[in-house]
Amino acid sequence: MEPKFVDKNVIEESYAAIGRMREMLGGARPRYFIETYGCQMNEHDSETLAGMLELIGYVRTDDRREADFILFNTCCIRDHAEKRTFGNVGFIKEIKAENPALITAVCGCMMQQREVAKRLAARFPFVDMIFGTNELAVFPQMLERVMNGGRVFEIKEIDGEIPEGLPIKRNEGFSTFVNIMYGCNNFCSYCIVPYVRGRERSRRPEDIVEEVKKAVNEEGFTEVTLLGQNVNSYDGGIKFPELLRLVNEVEGLKRLRFMTSHPKDLSHELVMAMAECDKVCEHIHLPVQSGSNRILKLMNRRYTREHYLDLIRDLREHVPGVEITTDIIVGFPTETEEDLEDTLSLVHEVGFSAAYSFAYSVREGTVAARMEGQIPEEVKKERLARLNRVIMESANGANDKYMGAEGEILIEGMDKRGEPMMFGKLPSLKMVYVKGDESMIGKYYKVRVTGTRFNSLAGEIIS
């Protein structure tokens, strides 16, 4: 499907609205507070919203009590998300009572579910702006309406368009995310994402490369993760392996990562691109979800356990030292002991270095929510505990091979619990703890691994 881009005139009108609000503020610097739930997609949307707020003249605060603008960017993926979000928004009532000029906004995937958004609007009349996932480009116009006394409720039902040219205020650090595509076509039977993020649409390669260059050369990031619900089905005129090769050429970039990969679309070309691009890290996040073919079919994942294991073999053959991380769901409707055993044996067989494990939970509106054979909560809980034990064994076993190995880490920060230690990741995503001080943060060091810790490694700096 040809991607649709937000009309240039709309983007120009957004910048014009930003200019008018700047004037309206007359040099004042109000404060904004953003709370983001869920995945990196939401984080990235929040960075774009922050970019627009800062152009208007707002400055960030981490204290919602002193904020003049509070935004909740919501997620609907996790358990009890609605209850939690409603609870958090409810707390704002008090702050609004103390500061009637406060502007409050709620956006994101949960608000894209119109019925939930309507419930929120009715229950919390003090919320000034409610908008869905397709409204980023018109955020300045919406905010201007609120500044002029209006209330905003905007949720477009159509599949989203790609907004290019909006400012981004990236979260601080040395590693950042660049969106390469939006939406998802896969309709895994348990997942709400295609309903709230729309169909897949890919950005133009030149826009992606420009954004990476800017992040590296103007904003100082050295590690970039290319982001999409299923990056393997990227199609911006070129396919994902070619895009990876293009981005790999960006001068100044040290490390290149990508997520998330769907096993049904992971090609041998991509494995070879990973092998041949010097900046692409030896790590892949490849959600398997289940080791049982029967459950994979019910999940509509469109690959088998055997296919998944073939992919792992291909990756390990061509990308030496590659680490595999994954997502796994237990307690999917009708899951039997035998299905669970298939999942546990797959974890052992692959030797994941880490896995995000979940007990299945119902998402209204999905196919799995209507399936017979829902598993009782206590059974799901018990299965999740068993899975977690196996994951931990697998991850710790995978650490031993690092003893004596050398590699480069990017120091991210200091762990001040006990004796202060600096920590940073190898390209494989393994965390290594070394002695040092805060002047090392953001720099790359060559290290030798001298020991294993719980879920991580200990090392010494060589150079």
- Binding residues for ligand SF4 (CB under 6 A): 184, 186-188, 191, 193-194, 229-230, 262
Least distance CB 231 / ligand SF4 (angstroms) = 11
Least distance CB 1 / ligand SF4 (angstroms) = 16
DSSP 425-463: E-TT--EEEE---GGGTT-EEEEEEEEEETTEEEEEE--
C-alpha torsion 123→128→134→135, nearest 10: 170
Q: Nearer to ligand SF4 by C-beta: 193 or 215?
A: 193
Least distance CB 403 / ligand SF4 (angstroms) = 36
Q: Nearer to ligand SF4 by C-beta: 109 or 411?
A: 109
DSSP 126-182: T--EEE-TT-GGGHHHHHHHHHTT--EEE---SPPPB--S----PPSSSEEEEE-EE
- Whole-number Cα distances in Å, 95 to 53, 98, 121, 249, 292: 20, 5, 18, 49, 50
- Measured between alpha carbons, how far is 104 from 186 in angstroms, rounded to an integer? 34
- Residue 291: DSSP 8-state: S
Exposure b/e, 292-312, CB count within 10 A at least 16 = b? bbebbebbebebebeebeebb
Q: Nearer to ligand SF4 by C-beta: 191 or 375?
A: 191
Q: Nearer to ligand SF4 by C-beta: 326 or 428?
A: 326
Q: Which has the closest alpha carbon to 248: 206, 277, 276, 219? A: 277
Strands of 283-285's sheet, edge to edge? Answer: 283-285, 323-330, 354-359
Q: Nearer to ligand SF4 by C-beta: 175 or 230?
A: 230
Least distance CB 446 / ligand SF4 (angstroms) = 36
Structure tokens at 146: 């609120």
Least distance CB 372 / ligand SF4 (angstroms) = 21
Q: Nearer to ligand SF4 by C-beta: 91 or 187?
A: 187
- Measured between alpha carbons, how far is 349 from 339 in angstroms, rounded to an integer? 15
Least distance CB 356 / ligand SF4 (angstroms) = 12
Least distance CB 228 / ligand SF4 (angstroms) = 9
Tokens 């799995």 correspond to what residue? 368
Least distance CB 434 / ligand SF4 (angstroms) = 36
Q: Nearer to ligand SF4 by C-beta: 74 or 229?
A: 229
CB–CB of 308/290 below 8 Å? no
Q: Nearer to ligand SF4 by C-beta: 128 or 200?
A: 200
Q: How many CB atoms lie within 10 A of CB 92?
A: 20
Q: Nearer to ligand SF4 by C-beta: 262 or 279?
A: 262
- Measured between alpha carbons, how far is 120 from 85 in angstroms, rounded to an integer? 9
Least distance CB 75 / ligand SF4 (angstroms) = 12
- Measured between alpha carbons, how far is 163 from 141 in angstroms, rounded to an integer? 15
